[in-house]
Amino acid sequence: MAGPNDFDLYRPSEEHEMLRESVRALAEAKIAPFAAEVDEQGRFPQEALDALVANDLHAVHVPESCGGAGADALATVVVIEEVARVCASSSLIPAVNKLGSLPVVLAGSEELKQKYLAPLARGEAMFSYCLSEPDAGSDAAGMKTRAVRDGDSWVLNGVKRWITNAGVSDYYTVMAVTDPEKRSRGISAFVVEKGDTGVSFGAPEKKLGIKGSPTREVYFDNVRIPADRMIGAEGTGFATAMQTLDHTRITIAAQALGIAQGALDYAKGYVTERKQFGKPIGDFQGVQFMLADMAMKLAAARQLTYAAAARSERVTLGGSGKDEQLTFYGAAAKCYASDAAMEITTDAVQLLGGYGYTRDYPLERMMRDAKITQIYEGTNQIQRIVMARNLP
């Protein structure tokens, strides 16, 4: 049964709401004006990175001990949500910085944390996460990238695919097989630097949405790295990867919330101004019902996401990266919020009619961007498997 305080822990505090107001104002002023251009040109949103770094919002999750803000999980959700409300591509800056660096936070040595989290906190570097491969997507344990011990070094060879912000990030958490006989228990995690000899990148993928966030393959050709760049003990990499996803699926839920909120806000404004049959279309009951359903789904998704963020924070504070309740709630939040975002953005396009289908309005971009939230960090079919195995 729920304890007496369980339903208070994820209620946004006054500080969270103040953070929301400040991030929303920043996003409207410094990120939104470039969102359409970033999408149209498929270019990295440098203006967003500059604005986020200047305001210490690019990686708020980094612990204070490493020079970061030490923000809680809900604060990270609020930042991602408000940036995604105007530009989904830009929201992947704080989201993927957390995804890439969280294995170091959870399992890295103190030396590794200081070496890589401090520059991240200062805005001098970005972090990406290398798990998926051409033949190992949903079955991540089937990866083929190898790391072989050679004296005081490890030598990496292999290919990682679908790597968000690849080529822009300076640091990469890379999962590689160190003992092929043990399958998932033979996988270890490493920090690889962009400048390490033998690291290279494929051409950017041509995607349906989030076009401003580069997605590329990362190649490792006899990449030799010091042994102290291993994250945690040998053979614990896959466990660390799954623990990381328990926490970071919530950030994808946050991104979905933001996209959906942006679409709903735009649609609400439109239906009050657009007139047909002599009155605003927002006066018609059919339109009102659509808006009501959109708002209802968004409210439910937000509550589930915030509840998951509270559990994430409790697990982190407890010094553990793994908790069955968090596993369920993280998967549920990501799955439900992304499904809701796809439905809400699709309905928002419908409310604008033909105008919604054109690039003169932002909703078709939001609809395209929403789709990926149902796919990455585990497809929603995989999320349902995860939930079924971890029923509360």
The Cα–Cα gap between 259 and 337 comes to 10
User: pLDDT digits over 180-197, tens only?
Assistant: 999 999 999 999 999 999
CA dihedral of residues 323, 328, 329, 332 (deg, nearest 10): 160
pLDDT value, residue 324: 75
- Crossing angle, helix 380-389 and helix 324-352, to 10 degrees? 150
The Cα–Cα gap between 274 and 187 comes to 57
pLDDT value, residue 11: 75
User: pLDDT digits over 41-58, tens only?
Assistant: 999 999 999 999 999 999
User: pLDDT digits over 2-46, tens only?
Assistant: 443 444 456 789 999 999 999 999 999 999 999 999 999 999 999
DSSP state, residue 133: B
Contact 313, 73 (CB under 8 A): yes
pLDDT value, residue 10: 62
Amino acid at 87: C
What angle (nearest 5°) sits at the alpha carbon of residue 221, between those of residues 207 and 150? 140
pLDDT value, residue 322: 63
User: pLDDT digits over 195-210, tens only?
Assistant: 999 999 999 999 999 9
Distances (CA, A) of 310 to 36, 120, 216, 314: 34, 24, 33, 6
DSSP state, residue 200: E
User: pLDDT digits over 156-166, tens only?
Assistant: 999 999 999 99
Contact 38, 212 (CB under 8 A): yes
pLDDT value, residue 319: 61
Kindly state the average pLDDT of the residues 92-99.
98
The Cα–Cα gap between 183 and 179 comes to 7
pLDDT value, residue 2: 43
User: pLDDT digits over 129-150, tens only?
Assistant: 999 999 999 999 999 999 999 9
The Cα–Cα gap between 101 and 92 comes to 13
CA 355 from chain center: how many Å?
A: 30
Kindly state the average pLDDT of the residues 272-296.
97
As a whole number, the mean pLDDT across the chain is: 95
Confidence of residue 321 (pLDDT cuts 50, 70, 90): low
pLDDT above 90: residue 126: yes
List of domains in the chain? 14-126 (1.10.540.10), 128-231 (2.40.110.10), 237-389 (1.20.140.10)
User: pLDDT digits over 60-89, tens only?
Assistant: 999 999 999 999 999 999 999 999 999 999
The percent of the chain in helix, strand and coil, each rounded to the nearest 5, is 55, 15, 30
21 part of the active site = no
Q: Annotated catalytic residue: which of 81, 82, 217, 377?
A: 377
> What percent of the chain shows pLDDT beyond 70?
96
Tokens for 334, please give them.
Answer: 């990501």
Contact 173, 100 (CB under 8 A): yes
* N-term to C-term CA, the chain: 10
